[in-house]
Structure 1
Amino acid sequence: MNAPVEIPIFPLNTVLFPGGRLPLRIFEMRYVDMTKACIRDDAVFGVCQILEGREAGEAAVPVPIGCTARIAEWEVPTPGLFNLDTRGEQVFRILDQRVERDGLIRAQVVLEPAPVAQALPTSQELLGRMLSEIIDKVGAKHFPQPVQLGDATWVAYRLAEILPISVDQKLAWLQYNDPVRILAEIEATVFGEEDSGTE
């Protein structure tokens, strides 16, 4: 197991996947300070789905699993406001956490290993074609680059992000370290198949 590291946590009503794009509008002082520190140190913060509470106001209770995010681009349209373009990097699990005086959550986390790279299985090429059609329709600029339609993990994570399903289901998929398993469940969800035929 990797050695624990400490990162700030940003609880949100969303699930971020490795490689995913997450635009954010930062205005609460605790997160403005967090953003400044991350930019200064080229450091990551953690995005977790909210278990209890809200995105703004008192510190929410995050679920104990999330994905690290790194700031790729940023701008300050007015003082005290950041517009961020962030990228998901690595799944983590929270071991321990505390709430700072300003309401920022800081947590000891362990980073999970990335899934083993593998090609999109022939049996699931339909999902790759479906994703390709979606990309063509909405524009490649809305997806992380480069587009990797032959990569099982890239296809699984991008479909998991865009499918109109519950955040709880997305969170369940985030916990899998097997993209083929995610693809099989996506296939069953999209096409209503109880068994996609994938081991």
Structure 2
Amino acid sequence: MADPTPLVELPLFPLATVLYPGALLSLRIFEPRYLDMVRDCARQGTGFGVCLILDGYEVGDPALPAAVGTVATITDFHNTAEGLLGIVAHGGARFRVERTRVLADGLLRGEVQLWPDEPPMEVPLEFGLLQTILERLVETLGPHWRDAPRSAYDDASWLGFRMAELLPLASSERQALLELTDPVQRLVELRDILPRFQRP
């Protein structure tokens, strides 16, 4: 059995959303602790951890984060119409938080175990309908994925994460799909969820 990867320390950004590997996340940054975090990440070329908030809020006192999150790497900066700092980040590896500590400024830092990427796996034939549904979702809800190669739709991991990203799911459902490590099982869960969105 392979030795586990060493723990990595990351600043954590608890949010009321789930970030999936490969997804894009747009944020407006205004709290000093997160402005400092963004500056440090940009200067050092490092990422930060995005975790779903289980208890608390995005602003104010440190919130309780979910144990499994996703590394976010900043890819773009801009100024918003309100004069705030806007960033776009790209979802990378998933991780499990082993320990956390709160810095004096309220920033949460965590020692995390990075998860390996899911290996490429062809979508089983019985999930072909999910590929068709995702194409429709991309047309209406995910224009940033319109240029994705057709081969991406044939990868079980990519298909599952994109469907979980675009479907109007509850936060708890999104988190559960993030935590699954079997891409085909994720497709099973999504297939079972779909009847909820069918018109009567």
In the alignment, what sits opposite 1:57?
60
Give the alignment of 1:19-58 within 5 angstroms: 19-58=22-61
Which runs of no fewer than 5 residues in structure 2 stay unpaired? Answer: none
Give the alignment of 1:138-149 within 5 angstroms: 138=141, 140-141=143-144, 143=145, 146-147=148-149, 148-149=152-153
Q: Is the contact between residue 19 and residue 88 of structure 1 (CA under 8 Å) also seen in structure 2? A: yes
Q: Which moved more, 1:9-18 or 1:73-82?
A: 73-82
Alpha-carbon distance change, 137 to 92 in structure 1, aligned in 2, over 3 angstroms: same
Percent sequence identity over aligned pairs: 37
Give the alignment of 1:117-196 within 5 angstroms: 117-138=120-141, 140-141=143-144, 143=145, 146-147=148-149, 148-191=152-195
Q: Which residue, 78, 82, 88 being the options, matches 2:85?
A: 82
Secondary structure of 1:110 counterpart: strand
Q: Is the contact between residue 7 and residue 111 of structure 2 (CA under 8 Å) also seen in structure 1? A: yes
1:53-103 Cα shifts (integer Å, max 9, x gaps)? 100011111111101100111123589832111111011001111000000
1:140-195 Cα shifts (integer Å, max 9, x gaps)? 32x39634211111110011111112111111111111111011110011036xxx
How many pairs are equivalent?
191
Q: Is the contact between residue 20 and residue 144 of structure 1 (CA under 8 Å) also seen in structure 2? A: no
TM-score (norm 1): 0.90
Which runs of no fewer than 5 residues in structure 1 stay unpaired? Answer: 193-199
Provide the rounded CA distance (Å) in 2 between the counterparts of 1:119 and 1:70.
Answer: 27
Q: Is the contact between residue 32 and residue 81 of structure 1 (CA under 8 Å) also seen in structure 2? A: no
Alpha-carbon distance change, 80 to 44 in structure 1, aligned in 2, over 3 angstroms: farther
